[in-house]
Structure 1
Amino acid sequence: MYLLGFDIGSSSVKASIINGDSGECMASAFYPKQEMKMTAIQSGWAEQDPEQWWENLKTAVAEIMQKSAVNPKDIDSIGISYQMHGLVVVDKDQNVLRPSIIWCDSRATGIGEKALKEIGEEKCLANLLNSPGNFTASKLKWVKDNEPELYARIHKIMLPGDYIAMKLSGDIKTTASGLSEGILWNFKENKAAKLLIDHYGFDESFIPEIVPTFSVQSVVSESAAKEMGLAPGTKISYRAGDQPNNALSLNVLNPGEIATTAGTSGVVYGVSDEIKYDQKSRVNTFAHVNHTAEANRLGVLLCINGTGILNSWLNKQVGGGAVSYEGMNELAANVPIGSNGLSILPFGNGAERVLENKNPGSTMAGINFNIHSNAHLFRAAQEGIVFSFKYGMDIMKTIGIDAKVIRAGKANMFLSPIFRETLAGISGATIELYNTDGSVGAARGAGIGSGYYKSPAEAFANLKKLETIEPCLNKKAEYEAAYGSWKSMLEKSI
């Protein structure tokens, strides 16, 4: 039997089909080949038409079914990963009422900050583990305040993955993990967050039926099967936001385990069994994919907006696009740890939650025209990105997340030896690299939810480790000195 996984991103939609027994990926495809359209009517806004997610998904599924030559009737189940924090609203006929307000839209920031003060910081954090911030609930409040006629027609609200499941099945459902991403889950009461729902004046009926993350949540309808080229009745048995799903993809399910990504932005995601929160809400706590009322499994998420985008900017502006990323790494390898006193803050991609929503911008300090070259810039940038991770990971330690082993896919910044070695060196953690991605992880999640796999251990029995990077203890003092200089520069800038 086969398992199908979808990853609904804001840039593209990816689908993968895997052999359930061997774990082998039979085929993968993503659409569009260029980035999906994103609309910004005003500065700080970001919207997407959910229908384009569906249309791109249909194209991706058609390609993998053709490539793999798998009979649709041999697909056991479907798993869905999706961009977190987005808002989709539909009427009673399941028609989308407006474009989705997606994760990177910042229009509701002031609404969330006001709610935090009015509810009370301690009460809010103790129940929701986060500030309402710019998350899904606050985005819905913006719709209520600014589009009242449209708001009056809302039947249900959904996260992007809930929308795709609705299109596949005709059923509108969600999960506790998903609601926690929208700050719509009360961890003390283990139910939808009436505290915030009432404060914002929402109708509680807007919240869909809540189903377990791993379960047969619904099945593919006759009409969707025709559109998708799938078999009607195929089980939909897993859904999760992209960062919890990335952790699942790396078999990060237990307290103390850490998953990391480093693309345009970077994320460190650690699992805890303690209901704790950062008093300043610099890192966020959500219900992990395997969280239950009986066994706490919380995902503590650190997000750094300015990560690979800094490396990309240097590639274009300093390298002129003529130097490959591999070439940049080779040049940087000739520069010593600490880049001969050159330090770079990577915070040039918007306000950073880890810095209490400050936006210091990117800074380069300590440049010496007589000794520094483009190679020094390339190294200092990678060190600065790693040091921003270290800064956030120190905050995570205060709420019980102490990285001993960090797992990541071998992609993006983790393709760089300097990045990997610096992260291992300054954190003291062993780094394990795997060949997996979100859509493959979602397929494995589907197998767990449908009962195809008896346990997560069985689902990940064939997950292959590509590489292990151990911290270089004899260079620890050099890394710490470089980090000390970088941190001193950061503290002066904020």
Structure 2
Amino acid sequence: MLYIGVDLGTSAVKLLLMDETGDIKKIVSREYPLFFPHPGWSEQKPEDWFTQSVEGIQELTAGCDKSQVAGISFGGQMHGLVVLDGADRVIRPAILWNDGRTGEETDYLNQVIGKEKLSEYTANIAFAGFTAPKILWMKKNEPENFAKIVKIMLPKDYLAYRLSGSFCTDVSDASGMLLMDVKNRCWSKEMLDICGITEDMLPKLYESYEVVGTLKEDIAKELGLPATVKIIAGAGDNAAAAVGTGTVGDGMCNISLGTSGTIFISSKDFGVDENNALHSFAHADGNYHLMGCMLSAASCNKWWNEEILKTKDFAAEQAGITKLGENNVFYLPYLMGERSPHNDPKVRAMFMGMSMDTTRADMTQAVLEGVTFGLRDSLEVARGLGINIERTRICGGGAKSPLWKKMVANIMNLKVDVIESEEGPALGGAMLAAVGCGEYPDVETAAAKIVKVIDTVEPEPGLVAKYEERYQKFKRIYPTVKDLYQG
């Protein structure tokens, strides 16, 4: 049988076709626009996601035996606010995960409602990108639109709804809304009251591998697929990427160098760090995970190369970098503010330490190192909880760079396991579809069968020591400059 994984990203939707053994048959990617109507705002049109996904599925399945397609599932950009009216029309463009407009609402939740209460209700505190602050923003700033709301959903769930008619979400993605009681895997009545919404506005909660419906007849006809194709709930992009890298079960770690950057630690047990610097979310395997999320990771490298250096040849820019652990230039990777562990939507990126002999290669190196140092900030929080991580999987566009993987190994002092397929959320989505269709009994079994480690990048003691010294300097920069960005 064949399974489709849909990775609904921020810049494009990536669709992957996989057979029951995990063999990837075809991958298709289709882009759609991103809108910045005001500084710090970030929006997309849900209709664009659906149009490009439908056309992408048609392209993906062209030439294959379509009768063999058994299931479709998703990995999706998290936290986005999608709102529909009573006629199922999109009320306004989706407000995305990297949108920073909700500073006042985030402060209200954290300071007036209080972080302790939020953590009690949801296991997390408010971050500017989360969904609940966006709902409060809409209630205050767009009351006419707010009054029209009948359905509230997340980006990938809009696709599931259009494909199957099922108003659904999964526990991993819903964990990032600040509306769900993560420990008990149910909606938080207290948070719904705070946001002025009712439970019937929210989708039904499923585990990521559960079937939510089948293709609607008109959609099946348009796609040329059987109407029996199952739609499986899917997961937030990071949880789906973790499935795709085999980061399931207890004590596994995955680092994702995508548009955003994450460090993801899977756990059988529910847990929260006392400062809520890491997110405590439900995992797609039926368990839990801790996650640190940077808003700008590979996007920092993309910005530096394409907007500043005016090149798309990222590999050529990295070819001249040889002075690992000895760069005097630092880069703070906060192009859109920062989430973990600082929770500061106002801070911005900066370079420091340049001199007359600083080179183009030094600046490029600083960008890659700055992102990795930022991820280490979250790793240190996990280590402070007594979590002993010795190795990590890696995925995302940045993971294709041998240099960046070497930096991760030595800045983090972790063994970095490279897997055969670095397709992240798309592969994870296809794997969840296979589990939902009964191909595998559970997510851990699917991961053990499908995900293969093909190489390991080992940390080098001498380089680890050099980077330790650099990191100790890096982590002093943000506390020193953060007040410059307030007000």
Shared fold per TM-score greater than 0.5: yes
Give the match for residue 311 of structure 2: 321
Cα offset for 1:169?
1.1
Show CA shifts across 1:280-321 (max 9, x none). 433222111123xxxxx3222212234333333443477552
Give the match for residue 485 of structure 2: none
Gap change, CA 1:42 and 1:365, over 3 Å in 2: closer
Higher mean C-alpha deviation, range 372-381 or range 81-90: 372-381
Q: 1:423 aligns with which of 408, 423, 433?
A: 408
Q: 1:75 aligns with which of 69, 75, 78?
A: 69
Equivalent-residue separation in structure 2 for 1:225 and 1:306 (angstroms): 37
Give the match for residue 304 of structure 1: 294
Give the match for residue 364 of structure 2: 378
Give the match for residue 391 of structure 2: 405
SS of 1:355's partner is: coil
SS of 2:48's partner is: helix
Cα offset for 1:219?
0.8
Question: Does the CA-based 8 Å contact 2:3-2:69 persist in structure 1?
Answer: yes
Cα offset for 1:257?
0.9
Gap change, CA 1:422 and 1:133, over 3 Å in 2: closer
Equivalent-residue separation in structure 2 for 1:420 and 1:194 (angstroms): 43
Cα offset for 1:385?
2.1
Cα offset for 1:129?
1.5
Equivalent-residue separation in structure 2 for 1:16 and 1:137 (angstroms): 31
Give the match for residue 91 of structure 2: 97
Give the match for residue 30 of structure 1: 29
Equivalent-residue separation in structure 2 for 1:331 and 1:110 (angstroms): 44
SS of 1:42's partner is: coil
Q: Does 2:467 correspond to 1:467? A: no
Higher mean C-alpha deviation, range 416-425 or range 435-444: 416-425
Gap change, CA 1:486 and 1:101, over 3 Å in 2: closer
Q: State the one-letter code of the partner of 1:87.
A: L
Question: Does the CA-based 8 Å contact 2:241-2:427 persist in structure 1?
Answer: no
Equivalent-residue separation in structure 1 for 2:59 and 2:467 (angstroms): 46
Gap change, CA 1:266 and 1:376, over 3 Å in 2: same
Higher mean C-alpha deviation, range 380-389 or range 164-173: 380-389
Show CA shifts across 1:319-371 (max 9, x none). 5528x3222222112x24222x33332333334442231644333333332x4
Cα offset for 1:243?
0.9
Q: State the one-letter code of the partner of 2:398.
A: M
Gap change, CA 1:400 and 1:453, over 3 Å in 2: same
Q: State the one-letter code of the partner of 1:79.
A: S
Cα offset for 1:126?
2.5
Show CA shifts across 1:125-184 (max 9, x none). 133121233311221222233333333332221111211111111121222223211111
Equivalent-residue separation in structure 2 for 1:62 and 1:75 (angstroms): 12
Unaligned runs of 5+ in 2: 483-487
Q: State the one-letter code of the partner of 2:405.
A: R
Q: State the one-letter code of the partner of 1:44.
A: G
Question: Does the CA-based 8 Å contact 1:168-1:224 persist in structure 2?
Answer: yes
Cα offset for 1:446?
0.5
Equivalent-residue separation in structure 1 for 2:204 and 2:12 (angstroms): 28
Gap change, CA 1:487 and 1:148, over 3 Å in 2: closer
Question: Does the CA-based 8 Å contact 1:216-1:237 persist in structure 2?
Answer: yes
Equivalent-residue separation in structure 1 for 2:332 and 2:45 (angstroms): 35
**What is the percent sequence identity of the aligned residues?**
27
Q: State the one-letter code of the partner of 2:223.
A: M
Cα offset for 1:4?
1.2
Show CA shifts across 1:241-284 (max 9, x none). 11111111111112221111113331111123443334443322
SS of 1:357's partner is: coil
Query: Within 5 Å, which residues of 2 pair with 1:6-85?
Result: 6-20=6-20, 22-32=21-31, 36-66=32-62, 69-85=63-79
Question: Does the CA-based 8 Å contact 2:249-2:444 persist in structure 1?
Answer: no
Gap change, CA 1:388 and 1:52, over 3 Å in 2: same
Gap change, CA 1:386 and 1:198, over 3 Å in 2: same
Unaligned runs of 5+ in 1: 292-296
Query: Within 5 Å, which residues of 2 pair with 1:354-393?
Result: 354-357=341-344, 359-369=346-356, 371-393=357-379
SS of 2:74's partner is: strand
Q: State the one-letter code of the partner of 1:346.
A: P
Q: 1:347 aligns with which of 334, 338, 344?
A: 334
Q: State the one-letter code of the partner of 2:266.
A: V
SS of 1:150's partner is: helix
SS of 2:210's partner is: strand
SS of 2:285's partner is: coil
Gap change, CA 1:264 and 1:190, over 3 Å in 2: closer
Cα offset for 1:457?
4.4
Count of residues in Structure 1 that have an aligned counterpart in Structure 2: 478
State the TM-score, normalizing by the size of structure 1.
Answer: 0.90
Q: State the one-letter code of the partner of 2:26.
A: A
Equivalent-residue separation in structure 2 for 1:318 and 1:93 (angstroms): 45
Question: Does the CA-based 8 Å contact 2:4-2:433 persist in structure 1?
Answer: yes
Q: State the one-letter code of the partner of 1:56.
A: Q
Question: Does the CA-based 8 Å contact 1:329-1:417 persist in structure 2?
Answer: no
Question: Does the CA-based 8 Å contact 2:270-2:289 persist in structure 1?
Answer: no
Gap change, CA 1:220 and 1:304, over 3 Å in 2: same
Query: Within 5 Å, which residues of 2 pair with 1:146-295?
Result: 146-291=141-286
Q: Does 2:2 correspond to 1:2? A: yes
Show CA shifts across 1:364-403 (max 9, x none). 333332x432232233332222212212210122345443
Gap change, CA 1:471 and 1:209, over 3 Å in 2: same
State the TM-score, normalizing by the size of structure 2.
Answer: 0.91
Give the match for residue 294 of structure 1: none
Q: Does 2:118 correspond to 1:124? A: yes
Equivalent-residue separation in structure 1 for 2:306 and 2:42 (angstroms): 25
Cα offset for 1:231?
1.0
Give the match for residue 86 of structure 1: 80
Show CA shifts across 1:95-151 (max 9, x none). 322222221222223213202323232121133121233311221222233333333
Question: Does the CA-based 8 Å contact 1:14-1:30 persist in structure 2?
Answer: yes
Question: Does the CA-based 8 Å contact 1:113-1:131 persist in structure 2?
Answer: no
Q: Does 2:320 correspond to 1:331? A: yes
